[in-house]
Amino acid sequence: MPFFDDSLLDDPTALAAADGMLRRLAQAGARIRIEAEQAAAALSAVVELPRPRAVIAAGSEARLIRSMLEPSCPVPFLAWPRHGLPGWVGALDLVVVLATDGADANLVATAREAIRRGSQLIIACPQPSVIAERVSGRDAIMLPTKTGDTLAAAVIVLAALHRMQLGPIVDAEAVAGAFDRVAEDCSPYVDVAENPAKDLALGLAETQPLVWGGSVLASRASRRVAETLRAASGRAALAADAGELVPVLASVTRKDLFDDPFENPQPSERRPALVILDDGTGDQLTNSWQNRLREVADAADVRVCPIYCTSGGDLDRYAGLLQTGLFGAVYLAVGLGRSIWQD
């Protein structure tokens, strides 16, 4: 098993090896600004669209859009995971396609099916691209994308849906600012003592991560963070609801007080660590679940690694939680000396 070397987190040579991943994370805010500028003219066109009977979203980050819209959308919303469309979709409905690579065959088929049925259609995609060419000249609004960043494109789509009075206010500049603040706080030039992402990596150094987010958006972020932790560490990392994590934590045996870590620096089985994503929006039930998770973790002597982001709009807080977790995953890979993930 790779040994975690915490000295690498402030080592210029080790951090330079991860520069590509760290730089891409740091530039997330800039990519949102680029996409907002690209789509400025197209965003004004969506205001003229009539309110649809229902909204169907397909493609990358469709589930994030669902998480944002479901609490306030005045019409039914569906995130559709397959090519084509449900049988009931017709001319009264709005189909949103997020195709940042512009060539996914399933998304091309979905867009063409929406055109065939006479549905309203919004497509976020590069121009030129395969999907733009296939629906060229049709009754569709194109939100041109440039960076290939799926989350940046989702921010622009959410801004468009707000202008149609289908979702909450989404300020692209505010979201970009949230990403920028995390990039500053989690910069490789900020040492371990003041860097929340490096602190997270230290907490997860020799553990099996369990990730939980209480709100709808924090739960969405937890799955993205767990996915990235798996890639960074080569270990299993589970994101799940509290009801599923409680029995996992309850089954953990407390550490032996007489166990000598110098005699056995790398035990055959890794202990879990609980990562809690808290966006400050939890209701009484969510807060009680968090308290329960902490109680069970404490009883089992399981380390708790909280990530807090409680200011700004819903999407700003989501950005803060997600990005801190992603930076933490990169630093975990650095400490483990894993370079393959950075390719």
Q: In angstroms, how far is CA 59 from the centroid of its own chain?
A: 15
Query: Does this model's pTM top 0.85?
Result: yes
Instruction: Give the separation between CA 298 and CA 255, rounded to whole angstroms.
Output: 12
Residue 86's identity, in one-letter code, is P
8 A C-beta contact, residue 153 and residue 60: yes
Domain final residue, candidates 126, 148, 173: 173
Q: Which residue, 126, 147, 173, sits at the end of a domain? A: 173
Q: Are residues 277 and 250 in the same domain?
A: yes
pLDDT confidence of residue 291: 96
* Integer angstrom CA distances of residue 326 from 20, 48, 182, 245: 13, 38, 10, 21
Q: Report if residue 277 sits inside a domain.
A: yes
167, 239: one domain: no
CB neighbours of residue 208 within 10 Å: 18
Q: b vs e for 251-269, b when ≥16 Cβ sit within 10 Å of the residue's Cβ? A: ebeeeeeeeeeeeeeeeee
Residue 284 belongs to some domain of the structure: yes
Give the whole-angstrom CA distance, residue 74 versus residue 51: 9
| Co-location of 13 and 38 in the same domain | no
Based on its alpha-carbon atoms, the radius of gyration of the chain, rounded to whole angstroms, reads: 22
Together in a domain, 258 and 310: yes
59 and 95 in a single domain? The answer is: yes
The answer to whether the beta carbons of residues 343 and 20 sit under 8 Å apart is: no
Q: What does DSSP assign to residue 217?
A: H
How many other β-carbons are positioned within 10 Å of the β-carbon of residue 85? 22
Structure tokens belonging to residue 200: 């997270």
The whole-number pLDDT of residue 258 equals 52
- Whether residues 201 and 161 share a domain: the answer is no
In this structure, the answer to whether residues 168 and 224 fall within a common structural domain is no
Q: Say what the pLDDT of residue 228 is.
A: 96
Q: Do residues 123 and 248 both lie within one domain?
A: no
Number of structural domains (the chain) is 2
Based on the domain organization, do 138 and 103 belong to the same domain?
yes
Q: Would you state the structure tokens that stand for residue 159, as one six-digit string?
A: 């801004």
| Beta-strand relationship, 94-98 and 55-59 | parallel
Name the packing angle between helices 62-69 and 216-233 (round to 10°): 150
The tally of CA atoms less than 13 A away on the side-chain side of residue 300 is: 22
How many Cα atoms are found within 13 Å in the side-chain-facing hemisphere of 155? 34
Spell out, as residue ranges, where the chain has pLDDT lower than 50: 342-343
Q: Which pLDDT score, from 0 to 100, does residue 343 have?
A: 40
Query: Residue 47's pLDDT is what?
Result: 86
Domain of 304 in residue numbering reads as 6-18+188-342
Q: Check whether residue 147 and residue 71 sit in a common domain.
A: yes
Give domain status of residue 179, yes or no.
no
Does 281 reside within a domain? Answer: yes
Q: How far apart (Å, rounded) are the C-alpha atoms in residues 35 and 45?
A: 16
Q: Are residues 14 and 42 in the same domain?
A: no
Flag whether 183 is in a domain: no
Give a yes or no: residue 178 inside a domain: no
Give the residue from 110, 145, 173 where a domain finishes: 173
**H-run or E-run covering 58:** strand 55-59
CATH number at residue 118: 3.40.50.10490
User: In terms of domains, do 72 and 161 share one?
Assistant: yes
Residue 244: inside a domain: yes
Establish if 25 belongs to a structural domain: no
Predicted confidence at residue 31, as pLDDT, reads: 97
C-alpha to C-alpha distance for 94 and 250, rounded to whole angstroms: 46
